[in-house]
Structure formats: structure tokens, C-alpha cells
Chains A and B, each alone.
Chain A
Amino acid sequence: MKRSNHICVAIILLFSLGSCKKYLDQKPDNLLTEEQLWQTRANAESYLNNIYARLHNNDGGDYATIGASDESSVSIGGSGTRQMVAGNWNPQSYIGYNWSSYYAGIRQSFIFEDNIDKVPPTQMSDSLKQQYKAEAVFLRGWFFWKILEQYGPFVKLTGVVSQTADATKYPRAPFDTCVAYINEIMDKAAAHLPAAWTVSGNFGRVTKGAALAVKAQLALWAASPLWNGNPYFNNFKNNDGTALAPASYDASKWTKAAAAAKAVIDLGAFRLFTNVDEGAGAFNPLLSVSDLFITSWNNEIILANNKYGAWGWVKDVSPSPGAYNIYNATQNAVDAFCMSNGRTIDDPASGYVETGFSGSDDTSAWGGHLKGEWNMYAHREARFYAYVQYNMHPVLPAVTVDDKNFYSSGANQDGTGRVEYYYSGKSGQVAANSSNITGYGIRKGVSPADNIRNDVVGYRPQILIRYAEMLLDYVEALNESDPSHPDIVTYLDMIRARAGLPGIGTVYPGAVGNQDQMRKYILRERQVELCFENGDRYYTLVRRKLLGNAENQAIYGMNVNANDNGQGFSFTAFYTRTLFQNRFWNDKMYLFPIYQTDIDNDNAIVQNPGW
């Protein structure tokens, strides 16, 4: 009885154990809360870093870069762009869905701007705060610009929107308002940013140059036919009847576009990269146009995503068996490259030969094709060899002889690693799950120091805007606003010269001063210079309203399906132009559909026309 009494007491004690309140009062004390975030420099910076992370990054698959325009196709049937070009998408598809991510970046940029001043001065100087604010503002402008480019008019936000706000009060803003707003943001950012960074530790941060470059892109976008009096958008209106697209054509927009691009040029902070910049004695166009992409932070770069794992890109574009062989260049792209004499291949004077095997190596200073390659690929301009991987041309991201032989079938193992896109080749139809569908791959952005068989890929930033684009923007806008302006030839020739080509006036003097002809050459130059880069080709065709044209929808390649029956490289039927895609087109596709849920959650947002 005595013992059991003790036990009683023990049990009663259990009841009174501790204070209930404290037991449950456990907040993650070192968990970052809203207040804490702005108490240290490191935390505040990390918040900005997160916004930077939303800078466009196309490593591993971007609808616009890869496969949606006529320059490339994707070998994977179910991929987003394959669905797009098959017309197999709608507002419910997640294809290229960036809208909400950009708005998340926009909100975060406001949060950052509103709160950065809370960081104690001992942790962060006022000037640094101002710089960071300017960076956040730039990023906000960039996100708005990217929405405008992909989806058209956006919902203009000037501050953080509360989660309880009545979303029906946020309709889309008219296109011109959007453009003005982005310009305003970019001006605000540019005011506190240097033209370019001099201290390498800041590489990757945005600059005034980048802000001006975005304004130039934007101005060209606004001047181009898609948004400059496009009748297709006549009925594109908000629910309250506000027209979202400019009703009529405004020629002065071209003038503004030219001026905006010129502003970047006049900044004097950028120039076209050549291999001489790297200390080489002699100019080499092939090295210039290829090393541009693998030389970190050269002076041509205006804006780049500094955290770029190039591995995904190299892996996707390079041939099998080392790589995925997913992104395939098209015959349409190949045909755009000039001959090394600067003439287009449809020019009888170009010396272009479509058939037969070439008898000798290219003897020009910078090299080019090799003996035994198909004549179609002989004596082309340097950019062709720098950017396109074609059948029988040696694989680029392979270092040793063994690495190169890895890409060759038994009989072809001669240490050169010639790529086998033919039917029974290592990248051909017989190759398991890694077959090329056009007969071409991509070499742009790939370094000979990469070894993709072993997944070794060096660091390089992913260039988002470079100086060459500004030159092309400038000449294109100038040709529309003032076709006789001498700057057109001057700046276009700068690009050609860097590619080792004679000036346009030398090759095609008739085009000088001829607006229509010159437009053709400028767009072709752009197609070649900016091929496979950030969807420039896609967006050029979109803003020029050319994407729906039949010649941009009929996609050709080599005849990869013809069985070579073991003939390998000597199999000539491979080199037959073959139509492999007749893409689906509807004019609604000039804009991406707004995701259905985003409309359903905000009844003020109207869907894009046609969707």
C-alpha cells in the first residue's frame, strides 16, 4: 500500500509536467523571417540573387531558341516545340509558360526595392543600396519586357499587389503604355548603373548598357509590323473596350528604334569581338565568330546570364553517341549561310555546288571544309563552320583521338571523329534513341575544349544581348526609316567583316539604298549572325510577321531516312533535300496564349486573339 502510494504521487506529478504553453512554443528561431531578411547584407543580397536567377536561362531547352522557328527542330517528338509546330497546344498547355515566373520576379523586385533601405548602414552603404535597387529595377523591366515579347500587353504593376487585392481590377495595359512603362523603368535603372563593369567581380550584374540595349530591343519590337498597325489585333480589346494594340502604323517608331540602338553604340562601351582581342597576331574569322561565345566576358557582351551551365546546351546540340543529339539545325538555316565570297547560295556567281564530294581541303586562311565532304558544304562562310555541324565534318566537343573515334563506326575510326548523321551512322536513324532528324547539328557555343563524351564542359556565360545585335537592330531600323543612310552599310559591314566576308556594297552594290533588297540582306545577316541564339530567329520572324509564311513553315533536312545499306559517308542519297515537316500555322500563334488559370484567377485579363 505504501509503495502504491508513491506510485500514485509519481503519476499525479506526470500530469503537472512542465508548462504546456512552452512545450508547443517553438518557432524556428533561426528561421529567416521577413524582418530578419533585411538585417544583414548577405541575406538581402541573397534575395536579389534569387531575382537574378530568373534571368532567362535556356540551358537544356527553350521553346524559342530551339525548334519553334525554321532554323532548328527537336528530335524528341513530345517536346514542347514539336507540339507547337504541330499546332498541338492551347491555353491549357504549359508550353513555354513563363508568365507567372516573371510576375514572381516582378513582385520580388518590388519587395527588394521597398525593403533594401532597412539594411543597417553598417552593413551596406547607401551607394551600394542605390546600385542594388537599380539592378532590381532593371530586372523588373526585363521581366516586363519578356512578358511583352511572348504574351503581348501585360498587367502593369507599380508596386506589390496584396494577396487579398481584387484581381478583377487589374486588366492588361495597352501595348504603347507597356512600352512606355518599360522605357521608364529602364531609364530609372540606367541612372544608377555604370555603362559597363570594370571590376570583374561585378560581371553578371546588369549595366546601363544593358538597360539601353533593352530599350533598343523594345523600340525595334514596337516599330515592327506585329505591333505597328497590325490589323489582326484590331479587335484585341479589354473587357471595357480599351484597345490593347496600336490601331495604326506609325513610321516614326522606326526612327525611335534606330535612335535607341544608336544610343547603345554611342555609349562606346562595347565592340565586336575578334580573335585578335585574345592576343592572336592575325585576324581569323572562324576563331572570331566561334570564340566569341566561349570567351567569358569579352567586350561584345552587353547582358549575359552569368550562371550558365553550358553542359546542357552542349549535350543537347552535339552528336551521339556522346551527346543527346536533340537540337538539330535545318536545311533552311544551312541555306542562309553565304559562300566565303560573301554571296548567297542562290546567286549563280557564288560558286555554290549542290552535289558531289569535294576533292580537297579548303585552302583559305582560316580553313573550312575538308576533303571528301559534300560539295554543298564547301567554300561556305566562316560562320557556317563555326555554327553548324554537318555530316562527315569532325565532331567539336571531343578532345583526344579516342574521344573522336568514339563518334565513328568501325571503318571511320581515323581519329578525326567525323559525325555520322547518315541512316546507319552513330547519330543516324539506327542509333538508338539518339537519332538526328535533319542531318545537322549545332556547334555554336560549343568549345573544342569540351569533352561531351565525358560530360566535361567549361564555364562561359550565356549571352543574352551582344553588341552585334545592336548593330543589326540599328541597320534594320535605319533601313526602314532612312534607307539611304550611310550607317546602314557601315554597321552591316562591320558584322560581315568580322565574319570574314566582303562588304555588302562590294558584293551586292545594287542593294545599297534599295530598301526592299537591303531589308532582305539585313534579315539574312541577322539570321546567320544570331542563329540559335535566344530565339532571335523566332522573335524576328514573329515581329516581322514572317513566321507564318510558307517558306518558314516548310522545314527541310537531309534524307536521314534513306538506308545507306552500309555505304556510310559514300552514300550520296543522304544529301537529298527532304521535306520533313510542314508545320502547322495559325496567326494566333504570333502570341503565346495566356494560361487559362491565369485568366480564370483574374477575370480582367483577356485572352490573346485567336486562342
Chain B
Amino acid sequence: MRDLLEKTVLLQRRLLPLLFLMIALPGVQAMPQPEAPGLQSVVSVSGQRIPVAQVLRAIRKQTGLNFFYSNQLLNDKEKVSLSFRNVRLEEVLTFLFKDRNITYEVRGNRVLLNEKPAPAKVVKDPSPPVPEKKVLDTITVRGQVMDPDGKPLQGATVMVRGRTMGGAMTDEFGIFSLRANAGEVLSVSMVGMQPEEIAVPAKGNLKITLKAKTDKMNEAVVVGYGKQRKISVTGSVASVDMEDMRMPVRNLTNALAGKVAGVISVQTSGEPGYDNSTFTIRGIGTFQGNVSPLIIVDGVQREDVNSTYGGAYNNIDPEDIASISLLKDASATAVYGAKAANGVLIITTKRGVAGKPKISSKLESGVSGLTKIPKMLDGVNYMKLYNEAVSNDKSLATQYSADVIQKTASGLDPYIYPNVNWLKSMYKDWAPYYNANVNVTGGGESMRYFLSASFYDQDGSYKVAKLNGYNPNLNFKRYDFRSNVDVNLSKNTVLSLNLDAMLVNSRYPGVSAASIWYSAYATNPISFPIKYPGNKWAGPRNNGGTNPYNSLQNSGYTTEFRPTVQSVITLTQKLDVITKGLSALGRFSFDSYGQTDISRPGKNDLWYAGGRDGEGNLNFEQTRVGDTYLGYSTSTSAERTMYLEANLNYSRSFGDHSVGGLLVFNQRNRVVGSASDVVHVLPYRNMALAGRATYAYKDKYLAEFNAGYTGSENFSEGHRWGFFPSVSAGWVISKEDFFDPLAKTFSLLKIRASRGLVGNDNIGGTDRFGYLTQFGAGGSTSFGLNGNASAGQTEYIIGTENLTWELATKTDIGLEVGLLNKINIVVDVFQDRRKDILIPRNAISSIVGYNGYDWTAGITQNTKVYANMGEMNNKGIDGSVEYNDKFGKDVSLRLFGNFTYARNKILFADDPKRKYPWLLQAGHRYGEFQGYVSQGLFKSDDDINSSPGQSFSTLHPGDVKYADLDKDGTVNSYDYTYLGKSSFPSWSYGAGFTLGYKKIDLSLFFQGVADVSIMANGTPIGLNDGSASGVGIVPFAGIGQYPANVMSKALDRWTVENPRQDAYYPRMGIASTTSNNYLNSTWWLKDGSYISLKQASIGYTLYNAGTKKTGLASLYVYGAGTNLLTFSKFKLWDVELGSNGASYPLARTIVIGLRAQF
């Protein structure tokens, strides 16, 4: 009969001159076939410019078929003209969806509309129609269909593959039953979900989990003050996959490195609580002031330049975060006007989902250790090298006798002839680590909530014990509490309240980590032992350096607590009453930060034994008298920020045209409670008006205009407001008709471009109001007999009247490619051109009298003059690629990678006019090293005499020979050039994969940087308290009796006997950082590139899709590690620390964890 129908049905297309709705008279033309609804049903439908919805309604009435589709997929208000009489439904649908990129599928009495998959444009019935089976269905199959969270799915269709009838639909508990034969395959499908197939078991119930269908292009991405569908975004916006952020790391930004294109970050310390990265979006765009992006958490700026509380947002538990977006170009950031010059990072926390309470928990426990502990010389080699240094120097200093060396080597008297490996004695391999999070989400129609609590606990790696009634070891504990509640006040009104407390309670040894590392580098192995018998701690005489282990163990401790409380209340109002698609939002936020440090400094008795008496007893002298009780001091600081925002949002489609608009007003007010003077006690204020207009035609041609109009209190009236416009446009080529032939391969091809202005009002440092001449405390003097001080006042800043916004012109061109629906590629090239950078003038002649370098006081008291003078250019490219695939039923694979390359160049820095071009900063990179150009080592005295002079210190063969760039016969400051390498990387990349096999998943993540250098001459290693710099690197540096220790790498050196040019160290000598051999030079410029296995995890799903009876929805166990392996050419210390190796290395953490959902 069907065949017959096919042959007899005529397609009749007639344009009716009248607006005549045939479907208004259903039943007349329709020939309903209720028993066998399907594509073969014959329908009649015609009309001029009638909405699609009406067409579908008519079909339903005629066939009983229900249409399911998402509004995003099909705009059913779109009007069509058509005229079909008694044709097969298939033909009507084909006509209807031909140009709409929509496929349809009939399931029972449902027609599911889906986006047309590119490779298979024409969807055919998976199996050809077969005659109705005559076999009897033997068994009744029962089952439950759930989503991945264990929530039952109502309305899912279950069909036996190959049949068109006899399907079933799940009820409100997700339960279905139908009759089928064992061995047959059931296909389960539902709108918005990925279909699943499962074999019919002989007996028993089925449990089927449907995963949400992810349509990347229609996903909403967070942009400034709102969300946009990904396809319609014309700016450069990247989102972070929150799955990748699940790593045992305290610090959010540290975890971000390599996870998303556009991030370049450098973490130079692993000390818990003080391990924030220098975090940038697309590198460094300015050489003055702030380089960090603007941080927005839940719609509110949550980070301040120069604030003591910088990086507090890093304490947000990744488990609580729903999404992280990076806004990279001017188009995306323009609405933030001011402060967005360095890009914007938007963090959005999770919100409640209606339903019964759903509990998710995570428990993680493990150990953390240090990535790398440098190797120092042992006592014997130390003395041998020292002797070698003394004789190389032709110095009169006393050498260690063979007897002393022999006695030290023998180890027989470790008290008089000690040989201590300080670093090894002070650091342990592993310290405990715990992390737990539990959150509950749920609610109903009128209210939804997300509640979360988490705990993070990390011990330091110091090998100390609770000896004196206190534990000096570092310990970092964090308690996060979050409550995000949404209440529907009316049908159109939602009130949201976020309360978030991030409470840090930590403990540190009585001396700073910098000081501990410094003294561990500085203290040589033979000066004294750790301890003498009788619990006498060893210590040098006054001003004689320190016993690093003793200062770690016996200096008391410091506790810090840092409460951060952040709150936002938001009222969202739909204003469809005024015009459709309009909504308004009001938001107020109050954040409070604080820090209280309690210091309990301690001092113990110290002893020194220089020898033994006649009876062999140690001759003790007490070198320090300790305190009986710990001292006490405390300090507190606090600040708060208030933020007020109101915005109007408009979004509506008119046929093929989609328009959007946004108008934002906000003001912000920050008060630093611990400010020390009137300039800083005044609130920091900003006010802004911003707007956005978007237009899209068929999601194919996109255009956007953004603008921010921002005021800053930092400038004088008339220069206070800055206007920051940007334009952008996009073209989705893959939606063009002519692209159809390629559509199989390219599921997406989109290009976009943007250009605009962004501003910055920060004048760098902590200075404000650069337009005002400001006086402050200056040098004091005294008059009278007793020298009582008479305070002085001096100019801090000489006001520059017309000071105004620093401007960044940003350009971005992006390409987005989707391949085979499996691979997504995004590449952006960008340029960030800064002008009018607010810099303190450098080139004002010293005779004007603004420079007040006070040598006797050792301080620079410059009177600053600010000007909009700096210029810099930063350009580069960033990109990401992601590949998702599934092999068979059991194997899934996700591969991802991204890279960022940004290279900046200072164009103008108001530098003094240098004599030679190589002395000028302009034309070089930010953070570029300066130094001399090494030409290897001097071979002989003749070589020295015939080479240009170097008067840094007395030269001997084996010393570093430098290039005389200006050919004036001596190497001096005129030969000090830029070396082309920076301490900040220009390449950053990350790559990883997640492999799933049945219940097991494995993921690895690598991150690296390239084109970065380390100046390994020890210069930055110093405490700035008068102690010698360069300890540990510069041989025998020091200001006192015990010359500092050197890394064991010093054995790889030039010697008289073996004058190698390729040695790591030049000849040994008693040196300092100002000695010839340890000046900044290419000799010490080392490649700081690395690739690190940042993250690895393996997990196993123990249990899933549980029934309601047990209450457990899923259980997942995993093991994970961070910083597991690092590959780098630089081996002396953890390469990520950069040039200062005497700092707390990054943590290597290994954990096992459990995730459960109820």
C-alpha cells in the first residue's frame, strides 16, 4: 500500500494568491493514519507566510506525530509559504528543513529535530524499512533511563532497532517497559541527549545513562556582563574545560597554566600561601605598572593591583567553579573599559539546579614534596675548591691544611670537623596533604541553591619537629564556604545571593622562607655542626651567619589568618512587558579582606666549640643566650570593596536577524583600612558606563560594537573620563550555501576580527593622583642639645597636569575550524599596541634635582614625575586544538593542546640618551637581561694582556673574557648590552589527553614554556639586609668568616691543569657578584625552557547509576599527581623558579581521592 502511495502521490506546488490557510480546515484534507504514524503518512498543508509552528501543529493534528526541537535549533516563528496536498510527510519535512540545517528522525509518535550532522547530511533511516516482524516478542524488557548525575529522565523514547512500532516512553521515574527478543538492540533517545544503544538481556533490568548532547557551537560562553552563544561571538574568548582544573593545587591560576590558549604565567615559588603566579593573558603589554588581567568573579571585579590581598581569588575551590572565561581582545574586554588593558579572566561559580538535593563530595589525601633540591658541595670538596680559589687568586689568605681536609673526610669528629649537608638536613621528601569538598545543590521552582564547603590542608616540607612546645613547620589550611541561592520573586524576577568565605589559616617558621633558603645556600658544610652532644645547638659567634637548621627549628613561628568574605546580591528582571527580550539587572557586592599575623619569635641558646681540651672534651663557648619564652607581636590589615552595577540587556531575533544590546553602569569603591597616609586612605573609585550592540544575520554574518566610558579618580577633571570603543565582525563561512561541498569535512569555519581601545589608569607602584604635586615625609634633622628629630617634608610627586588614560589599541584576527565534528581548532593572531603608558620620567637631567639617591642612607628618594610617555608593542599568536572521539562502545579519547606566543617590544621608555644603540632599552623586550657578551675564558696571561682591559677585578687565566663592543680598549659600562633573552617566556604551551576505557580513565597533562632565560650568576640571591648576594652560586661569597657554600656544579670548572673552555664554571676564586666572573653576561645566561608533566591522573568508576534505594549515585576513585617530571636543559634548581634559585621550589603532589555523588 505504501508503495502504491509513493507512486501516486503528486507533489503539487501552487502559490496561492491569497493568504489562505488550508490547515485552518484540518480534517478536510488530512487522512490521518493513527495506527502507523510515520514519514509515509500522507498530509496536506499549505499557506502563505505562516509560522513554522503552525505548520507543525497541522501535521500533528493530521498524523498524531509530535515534534520535538529546541528553540535554538528552529525558530518556529519563522514564516514559510508552502502548499502540499496529500503528499508524504517526508516530502513536507524535507522541504521545510532543507535550508535550515536540520534533520529529523521519527521515534514512535515523535519527530525529533536535530542539527544536521555535517558528514551525513542526508539522514537515512539507519536500517531500511523491513516488513513488520512476525516473530513474537518473547520477553518484557524493563529499565530505567537516567542522566549522568543519576536523575531519571522522563519522556525518553525506547525503540527496538529496526522497528518503527512497539516503542515505549519513560515515565516520570525514567522507567519503561516493552516487549522484545533477547539479542535485539534497544535504542534509547531523547531530545537534547546523545542516543544510546543497548542489547536486550535475557533477563533482568536495564540501566541506561544518556549523556547530554553537547553542541559546542550553541553552548553559551561567558562574556563581559553576560553570555553569548559561542557561534555568535566575534571577540576572542576562550573557555577553560573545568574537568582539566581538577588537580591537587591550591592556586587557581597556577592550575590554569597551559590549560587554555592565551595564558602565560610564571610561578616562581612553591611556598604554600605565597605561591601565586605572575599571571598574564597574552604576555606582557606594558613595562610600567600592572601586567595582570582583570579578575571578575560572579560579575564583580575581585582583584586589585597593588593590593596586599592580591590573588585572593586563587583560593576559590575549583570544585565550586562552573566556568572560567578568558577575554583576550579589545572587543571582548571593551565593556570593562578601564583596567581591561591586560585582558579579563571571568570566573563563574556554580548555581543551584532544581531537583531533590544532590550531594557531591570529594576527598583527597596524599603527600607533597619539593620538585628539586639543589646539590651543594660537601665539606671535602668545599675545602679543596676553596684552596684552589685562594691559590688561583694568588691571595695571601690561609688555605685549609691537608690535615683538616683529611679529618673532615674521615668524619671521625663531626663536631670539630663537621661536614653538614644543610639542604638535606632541612627538607623532607614528603609532607601530608588533604583536600575535601562537599556541595549540595537542589531546590524547586521558586528557589534553587548551591551550597559548598571545602577544606584544604598542606604541610610544608621542612624537616622539623615539635621540640619546644610548638611546631615550626609550615602549614596551610583553607576553609571555603559558599552559598549561591536563586529565588524567583515573581515569574520574571530572580533574586540571587552569593556568599563566599575563603578563610586561610596558616603557620610559617619564625624566619621567612627566603631567609631559610638563603642561609641554607650560604652556610658552608664545615663551619659548625647542626648540634653538639647534650642538645646544644650549634651557632656561630655574633654576626657570623646562621645555623640554617637551627633558625628553622628554633626561631618560633608565625601564624597568619586571612579571611576573605565576598558577597553579591543580584536582582534580574525580565522586562518583556516593555519590549520582548529586554531584561534588567541590579547588583551590589561587598567584599572584605583581612589579614592578621601573629608572630611568636623565639631564640635559643647557641654554642660553638672551636676545639677540644686536653681530655678531649669540647671547648664550648656560648655564642647566643636564648629567650625563655617566645616573643609576641601582631599586625593586622584589612580592606573592603563595594560595587554597584545596573544593566539593561536586550536580545531578540526578528526572523533571520538577531540583535542584542547591553547598557551597563557601575561604580566601585575600595578602601584600604591599613593605609599609612592620606593619599592611600582615600577610597579608590571608578565609575563606568559601557554598552554593547550585537547583530547577527542567520548566525552567519556577525557584527558587534562595544564601548566603555570609564572615569578614574586618578586623573584631574577634564582628563578623568576615557572612551574605549571597539568593533568586531565575524563570518561563519560554513553556513554559506557554497560551502556545502566541504561541509562533510568542515563542520565549522568561522573567521572573526576585532579592533579597539582599552585603557589603564594605574600609574604603577602605589602612587596615585599623579596630576597633583604631593608632599610627604622626607628626611628629618634635629636641632637643640639632645638631637630630637625635627621632621622634614619633601615632594613625592611633581604633578603633571594633563595626565590621562593609558591606551591600548588591540587588534585580533581569529579563525575557528571544526573538523568532522571531532576536532576543533581556534587560532588568533593579535597585536596590543600601548601608547601613553603612565611612566615616571627617567630622562630628566639629574641637575634638575628630582633624583634623590641618598647613598649614605642607602635609599632612593626620587621625586617622581609621571607622564603619558611610554610606548610598547606586544604581538603574537595563540591557538588551541581539541579532538574528541569515541572508539566503539568502550573507548573514548580527548586530546587537547594549546599554545600562546607573545613577544613584546618597548618602543619608548623615556630613557636617557645612551651613547651607543645597544645601551638603549627601547627596541628590547620587557624583562630582557642586560649584561656583557662572553667570549669564553682567558687562556693565559698573554691573552689577558693582549685583550681589552676589564677592570672589574684582577684577571687571571680562566676568567671570563668579555666583548669590547665600543672598541675603546676596555670593557666597561658602555659594553653592557641587552642580551635578547627575557626572564619572562614568550612561548607557553600545554597539551594533554584523557583516555577512557570502560570504567577506567587516564589523563596526562604537559605544560611548558620556551624562549625564556635564567641569569644563573647568583645576583638575585640575596636578602637585601646587607648580606652577601650570590651565595650558593658565586664561589665563597660572603661578608664574614665563613665563606658561603657553592653548588656542587662548581666541580665542573676551569682549572690550571685542565683549562677547559666548555666548563660550567670559570676558574675558582674568592668572588662576589661584582667580581669579573659573576657579572651579568652571556656566560651565565641559561635557557630556562622546560616541559613539565604537570598533571597525571588515573581513575576508576566503582559504581554508577545507582538506584534510589542506596542513595548513592556514583562513586569514583582516582590517583593523581602534579609536577611529576620536568624536562629542561637547566639542572641546578627547579627551572621554574627562574634566576633566584634560593627559593621554595614548586610542590610535587601525589594524591589518591574519592568522588561520590548522592
Give A residues with C-beta under 8 Å from B.
1, 3-5, 7-8, 10-12, 14-15, 17, 20, 23-28, 30-34, 37, 43, 45-63, 75-78, 83, 86-88, 90-92, 94, 96-101, 103-108, 155, 157, 160-163, 165, 167, 170, 200-205, 296-297, 305-308, 320-322, 324-325, 409-410, 424, 426, 429-435, 459-461, 561, 563, 566, 578-580, 584, 595-598, 600-603
Contact = CB atoms under 8 A, between A and B. Distances in A.
Given A24-B720, A163-B850, A603-B913, A203 B785 contact: yes
Interface in B662-704: 665, 667, 678-679, 682-683, 685-687
Contacts of A10: 571, 586
Contacts of B623: 321, 432
A596 B1037 CA distance: 28
B541 A320 contact: yes
Chain A to chain B: the 5 pairs with minimum beta-carbon distance, closest first: A432-B544, A433-B1040, A53-B779, A107-B849, A432-B540
Given A91-B973, A433-B1038, 11 more contacts: A7-B573, A26-B713, A33-B772, A45-B790, A47-B775, A49-B790, A49-B793, A170-B847, A201-B783, A201-B784, A321-B543
Given A11-B646, A429-B1041, A103 B848 contact: yes
Contact of B490 (A4, A162, A307): A4
- Chain B residues touching A, majority SS: loop
B787 A14 contact: no
A200 B543 contact: no
B787 A308 contact: yes
B869 interface: no
Nearest to A21: B717
B774 interface: yes
Contacts, number: 347
21 contacts: A4-B574, A20-B711, A24-B687, A26-B682, A46-B792, A49-B792, A53-B792, A77-B1039, A77-B1070, A78-B1074, A83-B1074, A88-B952, A90-B973, A92-B972, A306-B781, A429-B398, A431-B1041, A432-B1042, A433-B541, A563-B398, A601-B913
Contacts of A23: 667, 685, 687, 711
Nearest to B954: A86
A15 B685 contact: no
B782 interface: yes
Contacts of A160: 849
A78 B1039 contact: yes
A322 B780 contact: no
B610, B683, B712, B848 pick with most chain A CB within 10 angstroms: B848
* Size category, B interface: 35 or more
Contacts of A20: 687, 711
B792 A52 contact: yes
Interface in B867-887: none
Nearest to B1042: A432
A596 B543 contact: no
B646 A322 contact: no
A280 B542 CA distance: 38
Given A103-B851, A162-B848, A601-B846, A54 B779 contact: yes
- Chain A residues touching B, majority SS: loop
A54 B854 CA distance: 8
Contacts of A104: 849-852, 861, 863
Interface in B731-779: 769, 772-776, 778-779
B844 interface: yes
B855 A94 contact: yes
Interface of B: 396-398, 489-493, 527, 540-545, 571, 573-575, 577-578, 584-586, 608, 610-611, 619, 621, 623, 644, 646, 665, 667, 678-679, 682-683, 685-687, 711-713, 717, 720, 769, 772-776, 778-787, 789-794, 798, 841, 843-858, 861, 863, 865, 912-915, 951-954, 972-973, 976, 1028-1029, 1037-1042, 1070, 1072-1075
A50 B794 contact: yes
Contact of B781 (A15, A55, A161, A602): A55
B861 to A, nearest CB: 8
Nearest to B540: A432
A364 B853 CA distance: 50
Nearest to A87: B951
Given A7-B573, A88-B952, A96-B855, A52 B781 contact: yes
B493 A7 contact: yes
A106 B849 contact: yes
A154 B782 CA distance: 29
Contact of B784 (A52, A94, A203): A203
A37 B775 contact: yes
A86 B953 CA distance: 7
Contact of B782 (A14, A107, A155, A307): A307
Contact of A157 (B490, B778, B847): B847
B848 A434 contact: no
B787 A459 contact: yes
Given A31-B678, A47-B793, A60-B856, A601 B843 contact: yes
Given A4-B490, A101-B854, A602-B846, A459 B1040 contact: no
A321 B398 contact: no
A99 B575 CA distance: 69
A155 B843 CA distance: 17
A566 B850 CA distance: 57
A62 B857 CA distance: 10
A213 B451 CA distance: 79
A90 B972 contact: yes
Given A90-B972, A598-B845, A14 B665 contact: yes
A4 B543 contact: no
Contacts of A32: 774-776, 793
Nearest to A109: B849
A305 B851 CA distance: 22
Contact of B779 (A37, A50, A460): A50
Contacts of A461: 787
A163 B784 contact: no
A320 B542 contact: yes
A431 B683 contact: no
Nearest to A100: B851
Contacts of A203: 783-785
B1040 A566 contact: no
Contacts of A63: 855
A93 B282 CA distance: 36
Given A15-B646, A86-B954, A100-B852, A432 B778 contact: no
A520 B1113 CA distance: 101
A24 B544 contact: no
A274 to B, nearest CB: 20
A30 B775 CA distance: 11
A52 B794 CA distance: 12
A459 B712 CA distance: 49
A48 B851 CA distance: 18
Contacts of B794: 47, 50, 108
B785 A296 contact: yes
Contacts of A87: 951
Contacts of A78: 1028-1029, 1037, 1039, 1072-1074
B439 to A, nearest CB: 30
A92 B931 CA distance: 12
A190 B585 CA distance: 73
B849 A108 contact: yes
Nearest to B645: A14
Nearest to A156: B847
A46 B793 contact: yes
A14 B586 contact: yes
A432 B541 contact: yes
Contact of A30 (B678, B773, B976): B678
A107 B775 contact: no
Given A23-B667, A28-B772, A94-B855, A410 B541 contact: no
B856 A61 contact: yes
Contacts of A566: 611
Given A61-B856, A561-B398, A601-B846, A202 B783 contact: yes
Contacts of A8: 573, 575, 578, 584
